Amino acid sequence: MCDELGLMRRALELAALGPAVDPNPRVGAVISDPAGRVVGEGFHRGAGHPHAELEALAVAGRRARGGTAVVTLEPCDHTGRTSPCSLALLDAGVARVVYAQNDPNPKATGGAVRLRAGGVAVVGGVLTDRARDLNADWTFAMTHGRPRVVWKFAATLDGRSAAADGTSRWITGPAARADVHRLRAQAGAILVGTGTVLADDPALTVRRPDGAPEQRQPLRVVMGRRVPPATARVLDGAATTLHVRERDPAVVLDILAEHEIRRVWLEGGPTVAAAFLNAGLVDEVIAYLAPTLLGSGPPAVGDLGIATLRQAVRLQPLEITTLGPDIRLRASIHHHRPHPRDVTCSPE
């Protein structure tokens, strides 16, 4: 016998087994029979695979009739790559459904309503915060209709992203660079401007500490109207690359939403970073600061149209970590009002 809170904790453990980066959320499900015995478990293994409820019901079979389904996300009521989980639960004859998080996807929500209409007792809101944390990027994307944007930059203590001659390898040390690759791997896409491609020729791939490429590579996105040269490393076939010939950050994010990207790792350069900041489209900042002074050279971010300290973009520190000699600052951002002349990335 297990209580429903314990079953939800188990469902969350199962959900965490799903892919961390995927168009769909990570979901776990546990089915108990009328006596409270666990008779089926499942989790979502990624886009195109059966949903967690369908996996758990397949294991439970007839033992699910009259029992309880405990799920980390409200059962979907949408026919997409798979059939609606709400109908599957009704067909299986479960008597009770307990879920953690309401489904924020406008295309899929409504499962709880359908289940109640079918005579099933439905309880929501059990360990909701834990379920939301498990799918923070997906939840943000479903709620806001666009990917979550994390702006990363590396700079000296005086805010320079490169020396006066353009050299930038390496501002930070090996530990910080390894950390960048670890966090890059959590994104659906890595985005830079054409100016960065032309100036730095970055690969924009995710590599392991030994230098070997990770099996899953984020989508590489180049934003801007100039065409990268055929020899650019972003066109080397090591990962899929999308060139968006557009200067408006909002339009770029709309396009990436259509590609089912939930988190964008924004790497710059300073013009692109300023465009996203001025458009109010940066949600988190991850800054790597090296104990180095240059005195001149390109800044980490371009013109934000700020004339006085009262207009400054204020960050809320979330975490400060030392990585060898360097510091990583992770912060949320309080968006300032976009400057009317600087919401696009015109130089790109």
Average pLDDT of the residues of the chain: 91
pLDDT tens, residue by residue, 133-150: 999 999 999 999 999 999
Strand pairing class (189-193; 28-32): unpaired
Cα 206 from Cα 214, distance rounded (Å):
6
pLDDT tens, residue by residue, 20-77: 999 999 999 999 999 999 999 999 999 889 999 999 999 999 999 999 999 999 999 9
CA dihedral 107, 113, 114, 115 (to 10 degrees): 130
Cα–Cα distances (Å) from 199 to 23, 56, 165, in that order, read: 32, 52, 11
Per-residue pLDDT at 1: 41
What contacts 308, CB < 8 A, 6 or more positions away?
none
The answer, yes or no, to whether residue 342 has pLDDT greater than 70, is no
User: Of 53, 55, 284, 348, which residue is the catalytic one?
Assistant: 53
Instruction: Report the percentage of the chain scoring pLDDT > 90.
Output: 80
Q: At what angle do helices 4-15 and 52-60 cross, to 10 degrees?
A: 120
Cis ω for the linkage preceding 170 (within 30 of 0):
yes
Q: Is 53 an annotated catalytic residue?
A: yes
Per-residue pLDDT at 339: 41
**344 touches 244 (CB < 8 A):** no
**194 touches 204 (CB < 8 A):** no
For range 277-289, the mean pLDDT: 96
Q: What is the 3-state secondary structure (H, E, C) of 120-189?
A: CEEECCCCHHHHHHHCHHHHHHHHHCCCEEEEEEEEECCCECCCCCCCCCCCCCHHHHHHHHHHHCCCCE
The answer, yes or no, to whether residue 174 has pLDDT greater than 60, is yes
As given in the structure block, the two tokens for residue 256 are 């990436």
Instruction: Report the percentage of the chain scoring pLDDT > 70.
Output: 95
Per-residue pLDDT at 211: 83
What is the pTM assigned to this prediction? 0.88
pLDDT tens, residue by residue, 214-267: 999 999 999 999 999 999 999 999 999 999 999 999 999 999 999 999 999 999
Cα 139 from Cα 145, distance rounded (Å):
10
